[in-house]
């Protein structure tokens, strides 16, 4: 049986695993994301006992240079993560491993995994949106992630400002973009504590978050026309958020283009793989590379 390696490189933690699928994980390790040199070396060291892996997949935070013919292929580009801009993530792993090493964004990995094993099975056009510290999105067609000049940056589209809302937004690049208004960092700044620490009456927080997420999804519906939108990330666990997003999206679509599918409960679905979508996404990328 072929074994594959996966690296989910997140802004706060890294997950490395070896396995043949979601039900066959042989080894796994989690550790904090520190400096590029220390973090990538620890990932490389994790795989040293597994010299016969068929491929290694890397699902990384970004933005990333993913054009194979670009001099900086596999590098992180202009990230707000201190010290990581310009880091050669793929190169550090490929230099220590003889087999194929493939890299993509963490959200592109997640959408591939959801298409292979989760909420996107059997569909040809699937979008995945993570609501975490930031907001990122991936789009898969026939199970393959979509790339262009760069990977999709769904978190940085412009969203309308809700009437009466004077919150400035937290995006260091755009202020009140989708990520600036609806990310976990935005929630914490708006309400004074992280989403997982919000208690009591959550009505206002859920209503505001659902409004802005629906505004972002409306653009995704019209531009990419996915058959399903899958929502993951820590913020997605806010009680009542997913149903509120469905309700708000229906209101903001306002009957256009009038498809019954957009009103179905499973059009906006929670990630079936949960917080495993990222690590399993890296494994799924390795499988496609092999």
290 vs 288: CA distance, rounded Å: 5
pLDDT of residue 201: 65
79 vs 90: CA distance, rounded Å: 16
Q: Is the peptide bond before 110 cis (omega within 30 degrees of 0)?
A: no
pLDDT of residue 56: 97
pLDDT of residue 200: 66
Average pLDDT along the chain, 290 residues, taken 10 residues at a time: 94 94 96 96 93 93 94 93 94 94 96 97 97 93 91 93 96 94 95 79 89 98 97 93 97 96 96 94 92
CA-to-CA dists, residue 152 to 64, 66, 228, angstroms: 11, 11, 17
pLDDT of residue 89: 97
pLDDT of residue 30: 97
55 vs 6: CA distance, rounded Å: 9
246 vs 210: CA distance, rounded Å: 8
């Amino acid at each position: 049986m072929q074994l594959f390696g996966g690296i989910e490189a997140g802004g706060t933690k890294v997950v490395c695993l070896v396995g043949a699928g979601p039900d066959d994980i042989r080894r796994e390790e989690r550790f904090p994301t520190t400096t590029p040199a220390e973090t990538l070396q620890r990932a490389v060291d994790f795989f040293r006992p597994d010299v016969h892996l068929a491929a290694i997949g890397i699902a990384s935070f970004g933005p990333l240079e993913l054009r194979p013919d670009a001099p900086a292929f596999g590098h992180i580009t202009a990230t707000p993560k201190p010290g990581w801009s310009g880091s050669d993530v793929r190169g550090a792993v490929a230099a220590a491993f003889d087999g194929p090493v493939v890299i993509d964004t963490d959200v592109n990995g997640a959408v591939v995994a959801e298409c292979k094993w989760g909420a996107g099975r059997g569909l040809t056009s699937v979008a995945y949106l993570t609501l975490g510290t930031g907001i990122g999105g991936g789009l898969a067609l026939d199970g393959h992630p979509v790339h262009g000049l760069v990977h999709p940056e769904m978190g940085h589209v412009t969203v309308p400002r809700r009437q009466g809302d004077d919150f400035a937004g937290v995006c260091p690049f755009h202020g009140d973009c989708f990520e600036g208004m609806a990310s976990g960092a935005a929630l914490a700044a708006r309400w004074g504590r992280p989403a997982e620490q919000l208690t009591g009456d959550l009505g206002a927080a859920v209503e505001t978050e659902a409004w802005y997420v629906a505004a972002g999804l409306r653009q995704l519906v019209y531009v990419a026309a996915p058959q399903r939108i899958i929502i993951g990330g820590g913020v997605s666990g806010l009680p009542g958020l997913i149903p509120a997003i469905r309700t708000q999206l229906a209101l903001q679509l306002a009957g256009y283009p009038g498809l019954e599918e957009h009103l179905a409960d499973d059009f906006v679905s929670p990630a079936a793989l949960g917080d495993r979508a990222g690590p399993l996404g890296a494994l799924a990328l390795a499988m496609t590379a092999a």
